[in-house]
Amino acid sequence: MTAELIFVAGFTDDQSEAILQVMKDAMADSLEAQSRIRVFNSTLKFGVWQLRLGRVRCNVLTWACVVSTDIAQRHSRELLERDFNTLKQDIRMLEKIDFDKIRMEIAELEKKFLLQKQAEDETLNELRLSMEKVEKRMLQYAVGFAGTIMAVGAALLRLVL
């Protein structure tokens, strides 16, 4: 039917056959080009899809890295806080032990001081008593010496008179 239309248009049979052949070849080339374009578009779409998938994977990996880093930092922070609290407790315990030792030493020193003060007070009392005894003896010796001198003086006075 197409060949007849070309023949009616004033072309010969050979010319119409040639025109039809050229049109068939052009249509075949056009279909092949469309097929290649479709394959290219599907490949391109597949490539774009792969790029998007790669981007999603990359985003997921980045998110996973961020989350794992965050978890690691939190874990490290928790470990540091736990170690810091343990260290504070150890320091407080050591301070308490040191304060207890110092209190015990102060109590011992106070006890020794009180014992030494008692010993010194006893020694001072003994010295005071000894001094009083010596003073009493001296007074007795002085009175006795004065009485003896008066008796000797009275005896001499009697002899002389």
The pLDDT tens digits for 43-90 are 666 666 667 777 778 888 888 888 888 888 888 899 999 999 999 999
Q: How many domains does the chain have?
A: 1
Taking only the tens place, the pLDDT of each residue in 95-136 is 999 999 999 999 999 999 999 999 999 999 999 999 999 999
Domain that holds residue 155: 2-160
DSSP assignment, residue 90?
H
- Pull the structure tokens for residue 83: 């170690």
* pLDDT band of 141, cuts 50, 70, 90: very high
In this prediction, residue 125 carries a pLDDT of: 93
Cα separation, 66 vs 154, in Å, equals: 127
In this prediction, residue 68 carries a pLDDT of: 82
In this prediction, residue 25 carries a pLDDT of: 87
In this prediction, residue 2 carries a pLDDT of: 64
Give residues with Cβ within 8 angstroms of 6, minimum separation 6.
15, 16, 19, 20
Half-sphere exposure of residue 158, counting CA atoms within 13 Å on the CB side?
A: 6
Q: What are the φ and ψ backbone dihedral angles of 61, each rounded to 5 degrees? A: -65, -40
Residues 3/20, Cβ–Cβ less than 8 Å: yes
Least confident segment among 3-7, 14-18, 79-83, 157-161? 3-7
Cα separation, 78 vs 84, in Å, equals: 10
- Amino acid letter for position 94: L
In this prediction, residue 124 carries a pLDDT of: 93
How many C-beta atoms lie closer than 10 Å to residue 11's C-beta? 15
In this prediction, residue 66 carries a pLDDT of: 82
Residues 20/6, Cβ–Cβ less than 8 Å: yes
Residues 22/6, Cβ–Cβ less than 8 Å: no
Indicate the length of the chain as a whole number. Answer: 161
